[in-house]
């Protein structure tokens, strides 16, 4: 697999992330997962706006413009022979880059920017889901960012698997539905949540358009629901641990 890493295409075996990269050590970074169909990338501008906005909040400069990233994604798809693939997932990962030991970031960060790619399966039209035990902290500014740490989602997805469900729905500490653990599609949010997000400048409008059906569960477990999804241009984020 060919990776786009800090402005260069290279084999994944040759990619070297610095041992003191803060994304590796502290999860100090952001990511976006995009969907391409036959080489056409959906909602690239919106993804870059959100990535850049999150970087501004964290103080991580995005070292590439939307045009630069579009060219890089196109080159990456071509290098991996995926320009004609019906569904391809691209993941853009941005970290603060190398830094000194400790929590305080460097005064002048040198960000690490990487784009990886893989074929993306067609999402299932119907899935079972549970309400997961882990909760999202609605008061944390990180809850409004596409940040690298995904342990809550991982635990929720593992809980779903252990209980025989396909997906986990996560609530925040106020009991509002936040999202799916696997983030393959955004759910229809409660009115209170939508109102709160309208005042949240940290996140660009989400390009996901799948809905959560209001069917009752088939079995006795009232925490299991069923989701019916429409296959739109929504990205398939892949595994819980961060996509690609």
* 234 domain residue, yes or no: no
Residue-wise DSSP of 125-192: SEEEEEE-S--B-TTSGGGGS-BS--HHHHHHHHHHHHTT-SEEEEEBTTS-EEEESS-SSPPPPPHH
* 244 domain residue, yes or no: no
The reply to whether 186 and 113 lie within a common domain is no
Last residue of a domain, one of 119, 149, 170: 119
The reply to whether 78 and 181 lie within a common domain is no
Cβ atoms of 204 and 53 closer than 8 Å:
yes
pLDDT tens string, the chain, 244 residues long: the values are 999 999 999 999 999 999 999 999 999 999 999 999 999 999 999 999 999 999 999 999 999 999 999 999 999 999 999 999 999 999 999 999 999 999 999 999 999 999 999 999 998 889 999 999 999 998 999 988 999 999 999 999 999 999 999 999 999 998 999 877 775 533 333 333 443 444 444 444 444 444 433 333 333 333 444 444 433 444 444 333 333 3
* 65 domain residue, yes or no: yes
Residues comprising the chain, all counted = 244
The reply to whether 162 and 191 lie within a common domain is yes
Beta bridge partners of 167: 129
Q: For residue 107, give its domain range.
A: 2-119
The reply to whether 114 and 164 lie within a common domain is no
The reply to whether 113 and 7 lie within a common domain is yes
- CATH code, domain with 6: 3.30.470.10
Last residue of a domain, one of 59, 89, 119: 119
The number of domains in the chain is 2
The reply to whether 199 and 105 lie within a common domain is no
pTM of the model: 0.76
The reply to whether 91 and 190 lie within a common domain is no
The reply to whether 57 and 158 lie within a common domain is no
The reply to whether 104 and 195 lie within a common domain is no
């Amino acid at each position: 697999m060919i990776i786009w890493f800090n402005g260069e295409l290279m084999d994944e075996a040759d990619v070297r992330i610095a041992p003191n990269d803060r994304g590796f050590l502290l999860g100090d970074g952001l990511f976006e997962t995009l969907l391409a169909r036959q080489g056409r990338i959906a909602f690239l501008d919106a993804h870059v706006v959100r990535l850049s906005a999150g970087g501004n909040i964290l103080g991580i400069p995005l070292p590439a413009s939307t045009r630069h990233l579009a060219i890089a994604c196109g080159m990456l798809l071509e290098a991996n022979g995926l320009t004609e693939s019906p569904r391809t997932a691209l993941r853009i990962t941005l970290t603060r880059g190398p830094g000194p030991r400790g929590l305080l970031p460097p005064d002048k960060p040198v960000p690490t920017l990487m784009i990886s790619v893989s074929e993306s399966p067609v999402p299932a039209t119907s899935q079972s889901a549970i309400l997961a035990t882990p909760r999202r902290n609605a008061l944390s500014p990180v809850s409004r960012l596409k940040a690298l740490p995904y342990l809550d989602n991982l635990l929720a997805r593992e809980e779903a698997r252990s209980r025989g469900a396909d997906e986990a729905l996560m609530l925040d500490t106020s009991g509002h539905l936040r999202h799916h653990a696997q983030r393959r599609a955004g759910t229809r949010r409660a009115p209170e949540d939508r109102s709160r997000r309208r005042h949240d400048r940290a996140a660009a409008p989400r390009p996901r358009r799948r809905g959560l059906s209001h069917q009752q569960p088939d079995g006795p477990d009232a925490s299991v629901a069923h989701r019916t999804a429409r296959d739109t241009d929504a990205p398939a984020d892949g595994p819980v641990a961060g996509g690609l």
